[in-house]
Structure 1
Amino acid sequence: MTTPEITDSHCHLDFPDFDGELPDVIARAAENGVTRMVTICTKLRLEPQVRAIAEAHENVFYAAGTHPMSAADEPLATVDQLTALATHPKCVGIGETGLDYHYTSESAAVQQDSLRIHIEAARQTGLPLIIHARAADDDMAKILNDEFKNGVYTCVMHCFSSSAELAKAALDLGFYLSMSGIATFPKSQELRDIFAAAPVDRILVETDAPYLAPPPYRGKRNEPGYTMHTAQFGAEIFGLPYEEFAAHTQANFDRLFSKAAQYEKAA
């Protein structure tokens, strides 16, 4: 019996945690059915090395943006800069961007400016926005809503671990929620309930590797192959056979990250 195919929609393969190991990491992912992954740029000056990883590996795609926790320390991205990067055949998303008031609340204003720039780039390119949200639910919901009124765009709430209210705000706009290892942790029942109440056709899975490894690897370095363990948990949350849940997440990824799906068809 073949292992159902799934996609790690968010990982950081350029981080030093994976130095010299990428071929092995990608091979192990394939053994677990993880046939695609999106490696995420967190600082635009590092975009060339993130892009190089995608160019070197057939089943790796990438996204370009400035992480909110770096927004105050890095040059502010421009819409033109982001849209130019988005012309690369394997650049399939804008971000990650967002708001993080847990560690970096003092830079809230510049984070909001950066987020709006990324939203406009997503709007212009048609690529999905990749959102990081932590301890900023009210501002996040307001900006996402206000900007949507200015022109539609698509979006995934990456590594979703916020409130039911923010989940509803995102889902009401047609956005997606991505499930990470956090959903598998024993103290995350409230989060599992939020996912269970969401439509299964709006769910993605991810690792956020090298962070947030699910059991049985919790506390160790995460890697794309471990997406399978989160997806197995997701199948239980939705009361579905693993094969069926995996198929849902694949269809959802193809719908949202349509550039990646089209790239594969062309290949």
Structure 2
Amino acid sequence: MTAQPYLVDSHCHLNYKGLADDVEGTIERARRAGVATLLTVNTKISEFEAIRDIAAAHDDVWCSVGVHPHEAEAEAHIPEDALVDYAAHPKVVAVGETGLDFYYDNAPRDAQERSFRKHIAAARRSGLPVIVHTRDAEAETARIMAEEMAKGPFRAVIHCFSGTPQFAEQMLEHDFFISFSGIVTFKNSYDVKDAARLTPLGKLLVETDAPFLAPVPHRGQRCEPAFVADTAAYLADLKDQDLDLIKRTTAENFFRLFTRATPPGAATLAHIGGS
């Protein structure tokens, strides 16, 4: 008998306000919504231990290590060697999130670029993929990715995709994955919808970025991992695909990219959908 398909939330923040005070309940609600695996993502090295401990305490919850571009100046002192050392923990499956955010410019742009390149170098050394955040910085991100790929290959996902179809095509040329959040469900996100349509199933991931960016029909609410089910259903309609296929494919893609993570066991699967 074919196993019941399940979802993976490939990017959330279980240590953030609104989720951290109810991690157990958040995970349980995700299970009832069909979400078997979660990746809780690090944005400050000062918070890495909390992230790691959440992942270590829960089967099928994994974590990353990294410095968000907003923190690129505040945590510029974090050396590449430290990222590599932290990445050795068995629950760490990725480096990041890192990248460029020129919308808020909370850190100087040169500091963001240095941090971004440092994370890519650490990812090469650790053998883990890079989680990339990019906002209002498509040309600069594409340049850096191309330059770094010329130095040596690495694997990556463009998380919470918010760019143009042209940028998606550039990233796909590098064989990177593209992850869609609730943004794709927003009424006026025409470019993101077009990018989702052109992204091959084999390069597609889904996420919430919880507690941010709740998808339709939850706009205005605090987002949580359970809501990835709504984004997956929207993508299935958008791409004219069966929802079970979207679930299976995005789950398989997650484990193809984040190779240190292991698929959920029987105990987790027994609770999927509230069973």
Please, what TM-score do these two structures have when normalized by structure 2? 0.93
Tell me the CA shift for residue 2 of structure 1. 8.4
1:11 aligns with 12
1:115 aligns with 116
Deviations 1:135-168 (A, max 9, x none): 1111100000000010000000000011222211
1:37 aligns with 2:38: yes
Distance 2:119 2:141 in 1: 13
Q: CA RMSD of the aligned region, Å?
A: 1.9
Deviations 1:113-153 (A, max 9, x none): 00000000111111110000001111100000000010000
1:196 aligns with 2:182: no
Q: Is the 8 A contact 1:65 1:95 kept in 2?
A: yes
Q: Is the 8 A contact 1:89 1:263 kept in 2?
A: no
1:27 to 1:191, Cα distance in 2 relative to 1, 3 A: same
1:103 aligns with 104
Kindly report which structure 2 residues correspond to 1:1-267, keeping only aligned pairs within 5 A, or say none. 4-104=5-105, 107-261=108-262
Please, what TM-score do these two structures have when normalized by structure 1? 0.95
Tell me the CA shift for residue 106 of structure 1. 6.0
Structure 1: give runs of 5+ residues left out of the alignment: none
Tell me the CA shift for residue 47 of structure 1. 0.3
1:263 to 1:26, Cα distance in 2 relative to 1, 3 A: closer
1:2 to 1:217, Cα distance in 2 relative to 1, 3 A: farther
Q: How many residues align?
A: 266
Q: Is the 8 A contact 2:71 2:106 kept in 1?
A: no
Distance 2:83 2:106 in 1: 25
Counterpart amino acid of 1:256?
L
SS in 2 for 1:130: strand
Deviations 1:21-45 (A, max 9, x none): 1111100101111011000110011
Tell me the CA shift for residue 59 of structure 1. 1.6
SS in 1 for 2:18: helix
SS in 2 for 1:109: helix
Q: Which has the higher contact order (CA 8 A, sep 6+)?
A: 2
Deviations 1:60-81 (A, max 9, x none): 1000100001111223332211
Distance 2:22 2:106 in 1: 35
Distance 1:189 1:3 in 2: 32
Q: Is the 8 A contact 2:14 2:51 kept in 1?
A: yes
SS in 2 for 1:177: strand
Q: Is the 8 A contact 2:42 2:96 kept in 1?
A: yes
Structure 2: give runs of 5+ residues left out of the alignment: 267-275
Q: Is the 8 A contact 1:3 1:32 kept in 2?
A: no
Distance 1:195 1:160 in 2: 9
Q: Is the 8 A contact 2:128 2:258 kept in 1?
A: yes
Distance 1:234 1:24 in 2: 26
Distance 1:262 1:93 in 2: 16
